[in-house]
Amino acid sequence: MKILNLKKIKTLTTETTTMLDEQKTTLEHIDGLVEIAEYMQDEEFTVALTTIAKIILKPDIPMNVATLEIVRLQAIASKMSLRATWMANVDKSNRGKKNLYYTAAESINNLVSALKYITR
């Protein structure tokens, strides 16, 4: 039983590492996104940046993918907005990240609006 669990853990670790490598590769195609992702050190932020990079590289998004991305990106934008507000009012230690969270939330909301438009 323990061997099976270790195999599952190793598989999940490999899949996660592969996914992170894929995200970094996608981000490298768009100038400056890797640096932002590394600075923020936030998994959802990196996921949003990766999605943005994918849309820039291939803007022809299938309808079913767009609907899923709308929900996911909107949730990420909400998290970023809440995080920025937290950093503005409670944890005032990192002004740079706070401003990036505000900007990202607004930009992602704009992207979500565009995705909603193409699903109509």
**Tens digit of each residue's pLDDT (9 = 90 or more) over 42-101:** 999 999 999 999 999 998 999 999 999 999 999 999 999 999 999 999 999 999 999 999
Residue spans per domain, the chain = 2-119
How far apart (Å, rounded) are the C-alpha atoms in residues 86 and 7? 40
* Torsion sign over Cα 84, 89, 90, 91: positive
Cα maximum dimension of the chain: 50
Mean pLDDT of the chain: 84
Residue 6 has pLDDT above 80, yes or no: no
How far apart (Å, rounded) are the C-alpha atoms in residues 45 and 38? 10
Contact 37, 49 (CB under 8 A): yes
Determine the pLDDT at residue 9: 45
